[in-house]
Amino acid sequence: MKKPGTHQVAQALICFVGVFVALQNTRGLEGTEFSGGWLTGPLLSMADIGIVLFLLALVVTFMFPRVAAAIGLASSLLCLPLYLYSIAPVPFSQIFGSGHEFKVQPSGGFHWDRWALAGVLTLAVTTYVCLRGVAAASREQTLERG
């Protein structure tokens, strides 16, 4: 069995961090009005799917690094809307939820939620690591052929 490369270890680590941060962001939302709303319900479902995909990418990283990188990118895209909604609910709903009315009007602007900000930062790092992982795997494959 081949020793895992630095890119694979970094990719697995960032997928693990992605799972942890996504779980922190979704904790306590299941079973609330948040999970059943026509705007917020799909955001929570997307984040739940993103968590499962992060776990899948973590497992697949050492066998198929390029596939795992693609799965990691997809999971990042699925988790991002929930994080953005947590940070800026009013602007988010104005852009994506035309006609969405809040039962309790939140204060406008931004809410600097630590876990949502950590999520956005984690997704940025995940995107970088996964894109580098794809490039590194492509380079290795080209060198093996050449």
pLDDT the model gives residue 97: 66
Q: Which domains does the chain have, with CATH numbers?
A: 6-98+108-145 (1.20.140)
pLDDT the model gives residue 106: 59
Asked if pLDDT for residue 142 goes beyond 80, the answer is no
Asked if pLDDT for residue 146 goes beyond 90, the answer is no
pLDDT the model gives residue 21: 97
Q: Specify the higher pLDDT residue, 103 or 16.
A: 16
pTM for the whole thing?
Answer: 0.83
pLDDT the model gives residue 53: 97
pLDDT the model gives residue 145: 74
pLDDT in tens, 28-43: 888 777 777 777 888 9
DSSP sequence for the chain: -PPPPHHHHHHHHHHHHHHHHHHHHHTTTTTSHHHHSTTHHHHHHHHHHHHHHHHHHHHHTTT-HHHHHHHHHHHHHHHHHHHHHHH-HHHHHHHH-TT---SS-PPSS----HHHHHHHHHHHHHHHHHHHHHHHHHHHHHHHH-
pLDDT in tens, 55-104: 999 999 999 989 999 999 999 999 999 999 889 887 777 777 665 565 55
Range 135-139 average pLDDT: 72
pLDDT the model gives residue 135: 81
pLDDT the model gives residue 112: 82
Query: 58 vs 65, 104, 113, CA distance in Å?
Result: 10, 39, 26
100's enclosing H/E stretch is none
